Structure 1
Amino acid sequence: MTSRKTVAIAVPLEAELVDRIRAVDPSITVLYEPDLLPPERYPADHAGNTAFKRSEEQEERYWTILNSAEVLYGFPNESPAGLARIARENPRLQWVHAMAAGAGGAVKASGLGQDILQKFKITTSAGVHALPLAEFAAMGILNGFKRSAELAQDQHAKVWPELRVPTRLVNGSNLVITGLGEIGLETARIARALGMNVSGTKRTVEPIDGIDQVVDNEGLPSLLATADAVVNTLPGTAYTEKLFNRGVFAAMKPGTTFVNVGRGTVVDEDALLEALDNGQVGYACLDVFAVEPLPQDSPLWNHPKVMVSPHTSALSAAENRLITERFCSNLRTFLDGGDLPHLVDTVHFY
C-alpha cells in the first residue's frame, strides 16, 4: 500500500495543473498556496515577478509548508540558496523536482556537500524542453545557411545589392551535434527531416539509429572537417568546459554555422570570436553564454555574424503543462517505489 506523502508546490503554477498532481494518487496531500508564490510575468515564469515580497508571516508560512513535505515541485524561490536551505532544514525531504533541464549547475551553486545531497533525490525536467530547443537550433542552422544576418543588415540600410548572392542548401549538408541526449536526438530528427546527414558525440559511444557516426569528445575534431553546421547541446561540467577551444574551431571547415543551446561554459568565447573574424565560423546563433546576463562590453553583442538570444530558446507557452506531465509520471514512479529518471549527477553536476 502507498504510504501517505506530502507534495509542496514551491514555484508559481496554474491551479488546474496542481489539480493534475492531486489526481495522481488519492493518498497524497498537495500543499499549494498561490498567495505565497510570486505572480508569473509570462507563461512558465518559475522565478516569478522579482518585485514580489512576502510579509514576515507569509515567509514563515512558506517555509513551514515546504518543511512539512517529502516532495517539492521546484526549488524554493527557484534558487540555489532556496535548495540549500530546504535541504538543511527539512529532515523529511526525499525528492525535489527541478524546473530546468540542466539543473546541475544550480545544485552545484547551492554549495551542499555530498553528505546532504545523498539524503534525497533531485530530478530535472530534461526532455521537456527538447522540442523548443531543437526548433531553435534548426532556426540557427537555417539563418546561417540562408544568410539572414546579411539580409537584416541590407534591409536596415535599405540596400538592394547589385549581385544576388546564392545561399547554401540545407538538404544534403552535414551536421555535427555535440551531446546526443534527448535535446540532441530531437535536433537530429528535425535535421534529418530537412535532409541533413547527422553525426555527433556521446559520452558512451554506441550506435544510434539515424546517426551516421558517433564519437566521444576526443573524437570530435575528426567529425568537424566535413561539417557544415555544428549544434552544441552539452551541459556545463568540468568534462565539457571550453570544449570548443581554438583547436576545435580550427578543425572546422571555413564558414561553418555554429549553434549553442547547451551551456555557455562549453565554449571559449574568445576562441569563437577569433573563428568568426577569420571566417572559420561563418555564423553563430547563441542562446547561452559563459556569463549571464551577457556583459554589456562583450563583443558578441555587436558582431555582424552573431545572433544573441537571452537564454530563452527552451521557453514555450506549453512548458508548465509539459513539466507537470513529467512530474506526475515521476510521482507515480516514486509512489510505486520505482527508480526516478533524469536524476542530477551530484558528482559531475549534470
Structure 2
Amino acid sequence: MFIVSSAKVRYSIQDDMKEKYPDIQFQFCQNIKEAEEYLPDADILLTYGEDLTPEIIQKAKQLKWINVMSAGLDKMPFEAIKSKDLLVTNARGIHKIPMAEYTIGMMLQVIRNFSLIKENQKNKVWERKFQVGELYGKTLGVLGAGAIGSEIARLAKAFNMHTVGLNRSGRPVDHFDEMVTFDQLVVLLRKADFVVSVLPKTDETHAFLKKVHFETMQEHSIFINIGRGTTVDQQGLIQALQENQIAHAVLDVMEKEPLPEDNVLWEMENVTITPHLSGITPLYQRRAFDQFEENLKVFRQGEGEYLNKIDLSRGY
C-alpha cells in the first residue's frame, strides 16, 4: 500500500505513522507540486482539499481513497472524483473543541462587555456603570446541529442555557433541548438570544440568511457565524446591524476573505471580526491523523463503517 500526502505534516507525526505501519509505504510531501510525481502509484492521498484539480485526479491512476484533513470541501473537483468513484472522507468534527470554546468565549465577551472593559483599562478609566448581562437562562439557537453544534450546546448547558438546534431531519441531537427543521427556522430565530451558524457552504445554503431573517430575531440578540461567510447575505446583515435589528454580530467568516479594507464591517461598533481562526488549535494534525487511522483500519480490513464518508452527489 502506498500513501502520499500533499499536506505539510509535522515530522513527529510522520515518524509516528512510519513506525506504526512498517508495511505501508508513505511519501510525505510539502505541497501538491512535489506530490505529483508520486500520484500515479498512490492508493491513498492525504490532502487539505484545496490543491486538487480534475487533471491531478486523472493522474492518480491507482487512487482509491482521498482523505481530506479538513472539514471544508469547497474546492474539491467532485465531478472528476465521481467519474472514478473514489472514496472521500474528511475531518468533520475535528474542529468541535476549539470552535465551541471560541463560541462560548465570544458570547461571554459580548454579553459581559469585555471589549469596553479592555478599552477603559487602556485609557485608565475606572467605570462601573455600563450594561452587562449573563448567559444563565438565555436561549441559544444553533444552525447546523452536527458535531460542532452539539459541542457548543454541551458547553452552553454549563451556563444553564436553553438550547435549540436546527438540522435537516429534526431528529434529536445530544445536548439540545429542542430541534427544528429548516422550514421551522423562524421559530428558532424568534426565541433565541444567541444565534450561532455552523452551516457549510453548499448550493442550498448560499445566502441562506437574509435581512428578513435578522429582522425576525430579537433586538437584543447576538449573531455568531463560524460556518461559512457565503451562507449569509452580507449586505442584508450590514443593513440589519445599521438599523439595530440585532444587537451584535461576531463574524469569523466572510463572504470574501480576507475582508476588504474598505468594507464597512470593520468600522461598526456592534460587530466583532476575527480572521477565520475559530478552528485553529495546535492539536489539529494529531486529531486529523487519529481519525485517519480509524478509517485506515476499515480500509485495510474491508469491513466496518468509515468516519465522515462524503456523499459525492451532495459534496458533504
Q: What's the TM-score once normalised by structure 1's chain length? A: 0.83
Q: Distance in 1 between matches of 2:88 and 2:309?
A: 6
Give 2:101's match in structure 1, choosing from 104, 126, 135.
135
**1:48-87 mapped onto 2 (5 Å cutoff):** 62-75=35-48, 79-80=50-51, 82-87=52-57
Q: Distance in 2 between matches of 1:27 and 1:124?
A: 24
Q: CA deviation at 1:125?
A: 0.8
Structure 1: where are the runs of 5+ without partners?
A: 39-46, 48-58
- Cα deviation, 1:234-257, whole Å, max 9, x if unaligned, reads 101121122211121111111211
- Alignment correspondent of 1:284: 249
Give 2:220's match in structure 1, choosing from 255, 259, 262.
255
**1:167-182 mapped onto 2 (5 Å cutoff):** 167-182=132-147
Given that 1:177 and 1:231 are in contact with CA atoms closer than 8 Å, whether structure 2 keeps it comes out as yes
For the pair 1:199 / 2:164, whether they are aligned, the reply is yes
- Cα deviation, 1:7-38, whole Å, max 9, x if unaligned, reads 11211112221233335544322123xxx516
Q: CA deviation at 1:153?
A: 4.5
Query: 1:115 and 1:9, CA in 2 relative to 1: closer, same or farther beyond 3 A?
Result: closer
- Cα deviation, 1:138-196, whole Å, max 9, x if unaligned, reads 112112211234334544555444x6123111011100000000000011111111221
Query: 1:226 and 1:285, CA in 2 relative to 1: closer, same or farther beyond 3 A?
Result: same
Give 2:62's match in structure 1, choosing from 92, 100, 104.
92
**1:116-155 mapped onto 2 (5 Å cutoff):** 116-155=82-121
SS at structure 2 position matched to 1:113: helix
- Cα deviation, 1:63-99, whole Å, max 9, x if unaligned, reads 2223221101115xx634x343321111111111112
- Alignment correspondent of 2:13: 17
- Alignment correspondent of 2:75: 106
Q: Distance in 2 between matches of 1:157 and 1:346?
A: 55
SS at structure 1 position matched to 2:72: coil
Residue 245 of structure 1 aligns to which amino acid in structure 2?
Answer: K
- Alignment correspondent of 1:29: 25
Q: CA deviation at 1:199?
A: 0.4
Q: CA deviation at 1:348?
A: 2.9
**1:155-166 mapped onto 2 (5 Å cutoff):** 155=121, 158-161=124-127, 164-166=129-131
What's the RMSD between the two structures over aligned residues?
Answer: 2.2
Q: Distance in 2 between matches of 1:288 and 1:63?
A: 31
SS at structure 1 position matched to 2:185: helix
Given that 2:5 and 2:35 are in contact with CA atoms closer than 8 Å, whether structure 1 keeps it comes out as no
Given that 1:254 and 1:281 are in contact with CA atoms closer than 8 Å, whether structure 2 keeps it comes out as yes
**1:215-226 mapped onto 2 (5 Å cutoff):** 215-226=180-191
Greater length-normalized contact order (CA 8 Å, ≥ 6 residues apart)? 1
**What is the aligned-residue identity percentage?**
28
Residue 84 of structure 1 aligns to which amino acid in structure 2?
Answer: P
Q: What's the TM-score once normalised by structure 2's chain length? A: 0.92
